[in-house]
Structure 1
Amino acid sequence: LGSGDILVFLPGEREIREAADALRKSPLRRHDEILPLFARLSNAEQHKIFHPSDTKRRIVLATNVAETSLTVPGIKYVIDTGLARVKRYSARAKVEQLHVEKISQAAARQRAGRCGRVSAGVCIRLYSEEDFEQRSAFTDPEIIRSNLAAVILRMAALNLGDVAAFPFLEAPDQRYINDGFQVLLELGAVEET
């Protein structure tokens, strides 16, 4: 790679910590500044990515928050692992889980575009074009992969009518609506009527 800093997309904190440890131990990267970026870091640690170094190449290891939420000065290269940690609700188990999943084609294009950078750059995907073509076109909307109890409660408070009849852009499955009502009934937040 030529000059310029590197942004690497990894699915979560554990993968970021492991990659940071491996890079710090690598003799090829001993002159680079390795900067992890994930939610549990202190504000001071997170803000280090916004201060470019004149002497060292920076390698920023980030979750998918850097796809749309950040622009980091000095980033020239993006390395896309093609993975992200995605929250999904299981109506059967009644829990929200964070699964590592392949990102959609739209998210991959976002990563390859100007995400994280202030100027044009290079994106290196760590997966094949065939793999890219087999991915879903877009990321599933959060409304169809979340627990709907809070949405239902807010809609009831705003008198928006029947949740099942509401004109969502991407309507959630009826079983998730039923599950949301069941959770609210168990909590005593709504009545049967």
Structure 2
Amino acid sequence: MAPTTEDDILRSARSLLVGGGYNGFSYADVAASVGIRKASIHYYFPTKADLVASLVARYRAEAAAGFAEVSRQNPQPLDRLKAYIAFWSACIADGTNTFCLCALLATQIPVLPEIVVAEVRSYFEVLATWLAAVFDEGCARGDFILGDDAATEAEKFMAAVHGAMLSARAYGDARVFDLVTAPLLAQLASRT
């Protein structure tokens, strides 16, 4: 199926957001990128908040589908966590997707419209729920011995992965991501 104008607008907005943050782009930037008039963007997304909230909602849905696929392809909980980290490692290394959109937006919550904040928080809830389920299953199977409950371990893991993204971006060195995340997996594996 060929991308629609709406898809092109969302793709452009995502690139602009990751490149410069919420206040770092305008409808004029999106229009120039997509090759349409600003009025055309307003047809799909009446406000910038609507555009970004829709983008985050789509991002969250794609991530949820991705988590389900990772779970389907990796029956072992540790392998699911490895696959999650490997996904981000590959994205950061090849430059296609160097930062989680919602992690970036979370740093800007004080200046974001409430509709966007709600979508960002929903993404984190979906990710934390999936990770907690992975930790729960790993613990129930005897694969992991957790230092805290599964929900807390999920939050710590999520924070470490997002922090690794931030460090890799700050240093301009994709290898930093792996330096931070490799011990996370090694620690879990050593608990088994």
TM-score range, shorter chain: under 0.3
Structure of higher CA gyration radius: 1
TM-score by length of 1: 0.23
TM-score, normalized by length of structure 2?
0.23
Which structure has the highest helix share of the two?
2
Hey, which of these two has a bigger chunk of strand by percent?
1
